[in-house]
Amino acid sequence: MTVQPLFYLSLLGLVACSGGEGQDDDSTGTDSGTVDTSEDTDAGDDPVCAEDYSFCGDVLIPADLVGTPRSIAVVLYENIPPAGPPDGIVLDLEAGDLTAGQTYAVREMPIILSGEFYVWVNLYMEGGGEWAPVNGVDYLGYTETPVTLDGSPIAFDDIVLELAQDF
């Protein structure tokens, strides 16, 4: 499967599921790609994360974040470190009001890709990269083990972002 059709399917899902930028969905308490700064952001507590083809987890923004976040991308790779375009794009959004020490709640569905993938997150800062992070400017993080996408609900481990180095 190529990245372009997956991107458009994911984009279609984003458009179809959004209730407007920055608005909370009363049924889940969070909106796809919004910052959830509540005490408990565990994916297991969000009803959408129990649905088939759901993809949920939290991205931890470092307390020592330097700069102004511009955009955040959550993508999938069969192998890491990345050596080209991602195998799938979960989301690629403006960062909004992300600040140091917050938790970014990823709550997406449907993610219809199949296979084993590492979840990779790039937080692009003002003055940073567009398609790849810039060392010393942007932040990145990823899952230590791949997740298996097979239609079952996915709750990936927390991803702690770190300043990009040796990328």
Across the chain, which has 167 residues, the per-10-residue mean pLDDT values are 39 36 34 41 78 97 96 97 95 93 96 97 96 96 98 97 93
Number of compact structural domains in the chain: 1
Residue 153: the pLDDT is 97
Q: What is the pTM of this model?
A: 0.75
Residue 67 CA to residue 76 CA, distance in Å, equals 26
Looking at the domain assignment, is residue 51 inside a domain? yes
Residue 45: the pLDDT is 79
The SS3 of residue 6 is: helix
Residue 37: the pLDDT is 39
**E runs forming strands in the chain:** 55-60, 69-77, 88-94, 103-108, 115-125, 139-142, 147-149, 154-155, 159-160, 162-163
Could you tell me how many helices (H) and strands (E) the chain has, helices first? 1, 10
The SS3 of residue 35 is: strand
Looking at the domain assignment, is residue 105 inside a domain? yes
Looking at the domain assignment, is residue 22 inside a domain? no
Looking at the domain assignment, is residue 26 inside a domain? no
Phi/psi for 87 (5° steps) reads: -80, -20
What domain range is 104 assigned to? 3-17+32-163
Looking at the domain assignment, is residue 24 inside a domain? no
Residue 152: the pLDDT is 97
Looking at the domain assignment, is residue 25 inside a domain? no
